[in-house]
Amino acid sequence: MDRTLLLIKQNYLQKVKAKSFILMTLLYMAVILVAVNWTSIKDVFSGDDQVKVALVDETKQLGATFPEKGDVEFEATTEDRKTLEKKVKDGDYDGALILTGKDSKLNAQFITYDSPSLATQQTVETHVDTASKLYGIQQLNLSSDEAETLLNAQTVIDEVSLKKDDSGKSSASKMIGIGVSYVMGFLIYLFVITYASMITTDIASEKGSRVLEVLMASIRPNQHLMGKIVSVFLLGFTQIVILVVTALVGLKLAKADLWSTAADMLKDLSGAYIWIVIGFFLLTMLLYLTLGALMGSLVSKVEEAGQATMPLMMLMMAGFFSLVYGMTNPDTILVKILSFVPFTSGMLMPLRYSSTDLSLSMAIISLAILFITLVVVFMATVALYRRSVLTYSTGSIWTKFKNVWKFTT
């Protein structure tokens, strides 16, 4: 036990001090800080690129609908079309918007010289759409209060289920759950690819340089296996903690009130969902690290590590792409089946649990299947690792696996 702990400590400290780990963590931290402060950063780079649009309102009713300040500034004017076209060509205006009423409908013409950006087009279209609705309402000769009531009318759907034990989630809660599930699925995909490859390459490197033969003289194979899995798992956990703290600090210090927004969103998530996500994340990491260690023990040199991890990467990609597909329709048969398959359930079951009215018991069953699979895979890996870690053979990974399995059983 002391030797295992010593090996865990040595491997962990060696990797946490590595330049690659430090640089990768700093890169992730920078990405997170840029993401949470993107609004402020965007303003710094686009502050001088304000879009100025001349507004000619021939209806004399809609000028107040268009804002004078914002990403696109609308400046009311009564100049004729020929003068406006000249000013647009000369760069005095980025564009000119002319509003005319005909047959109780609003017509709009947007004049530009240089092709406008997509953001500018969408902003103009949004304001014109609002103005068109308001203009149509005004043609009905309604009072201002009646027009405002009609324009802002919104129906709240009261969902009633005939099941006595129903605890259906609101649409807002489901959308937040989908977003959180996607983030967690992406993190699983990213960390599994990174650390499963790391443990495979690490063992293959030691095996190819014959260092393992020296190590096996002082420690048992299962101690070496445990040392590798636990140390790499702790390394990944350390990085996750650093990134979570970075995200929390970034949200707290961001100029936009992102902290309150994030807190309000998390209120819609149940405590059971949070524990389900954590459980799937940790067990999926351990499952793929165990498989990565097994694959590393099967190869004879580090150059074969990429080939060995390819099946694991394919499983991860299948799970991630199924997650992306399931975000639009989490009730499809494919998503339902893969949410119980232990190699993909870590991504898909949190999605189903958050975006549908799936019961907690089904999520626990999927988590139990993942846990049982992890135990079986770990026990099989321990049995195979004793022989495979000191076996140097040629052929494909499948051939090496069959040979080791034959000698082990």
First to last CA, the chain: 27
Task: Give the pLDDT score at 340.
Answer: 93
7, containing H or E segment: helix 2-16
Kindly list the domain boundaries of the chain, sorted by start residue.
50-151, 168-408
Task: Give the pLDDT score at 398.
Answer: 64
Is 191 in contact with 285 (CB distance < 8 Å)?
yes
- Measure the CA dihedral 209/214/216/218, to 10°: -150
Q: Which residues contact 223 (CB under 8 A, 6 or more apart)?
A: 3, 4, 7
Q: Which residues contact 13 (CB under 8 A, 6 or more apart)?
A: none
List the beta bridge partners of residue 108. 99
pLDDT (tens, 9 = 90+) of the chain, 409 residues, equals 677 888 888 888 888 988 988 999 999 888 888 877 776 666 555 555 678 888 888 887 777 778 877 778 888 888 888 888 888 888 888 888 888 887 778 888 888 888 888 878 888 888 888 888 777 777 777 665 666 677 677 666 655 555 555 455 666 667 777 888 888 888 888 888 888 888 888 888 877 666 666 666 677 877 888 888 999 999 989 998 998 889 888 877 776 666 676 676 667 677 788 888 889 999 999 999 999 888 887 777 777 777 888 888 888 888 889 888 888 888 889 888 999 999 999 889 988 888 877 888 899 999 999 999 999 999 988 888 777 766 666 656 666 666 666 655 5
d(CA 316, CA 342): 11
CATH number for region 50-151: 3.40.190.10
Q: Which residue has the tokens 């963590």?
A: 25
3-state secondary structure of 63: helix
Task: Give the pLDDT score at 371.
Answer: 95
Question: Long-range contacts made by residues 316-321, C-beta under 8 angstroms, separation at least 24?
Answer: 316/188, 316/189, 316/192, 316/193, 316/288, 317/189, 318/344, 319/185, 319/188, 319/189, 319/343, 319/344, 319/346, 319/347, 319/348, 320/185, 320/186, 320/189, 320/347
Is 339 in contact with 355 (CB distance < 8 Å)?
no
Task: Give the pLDDT score at 374.
Answer: 94
3-state secondary structure of 398: helix
Widest CA span in the chain: 94
Is 272 in contact with 360 (CB distance < 8 Å)?
yes
- Reference 285, options 348, 234, 326; nearest CA is 234
Q: Which residue has the tokens 């135990």?
A: 375
